């Protein structure tokens, strides 16, 4: 029986956290968000990246061998 408390999975990340999850730099992540390559949402004054937007971005990269800019 587990006695520790499990952390709930977050459905949105900061841009910095999203960059870390993808293994890229913060500047490139902001560029992807600005270009619309990775979906983001505003929550008040904050910019957040839904975790499923990262999944969608990686899936597009996998299905298009030259990256999304070739599409």
The residue extents of the domains of the chain are 12-64
pLDDT of residue 8: 74
Output the DSSP codes for 2-55.
Answer: --SPPPPPPSEE-HHHHHHHHT--HHHHHHHHHTTSS--EEETTEEEEEHHHHH
Q: Each residue of 7-66: pLDDT tens digit?
A: 778 999 999 999 999 999 999 999 999 999 999 999 999 999 999 999 999 999 999 866
pLDDT of residue 59: 96
| pLDDT band, residue 70 (cuts 50/70/90) | low
pLDDT of residue 66: 67
């Amino acid at each position: 029986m587990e006695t520790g408390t499990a952390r709930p999975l977050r459905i949105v990340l900061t841009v910095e956290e999203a960059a870390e999850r993808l293994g890229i730099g913060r500047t490139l992540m902001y560029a992807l968000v600005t270009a619309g390559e990775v979906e983001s949402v505003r929550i008040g004054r904050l910019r957040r990246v839904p975790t499923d937007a990262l999944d969608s971005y990686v899936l597009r990269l996998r299905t298009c061998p030259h990256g999304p800019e070739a599409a």
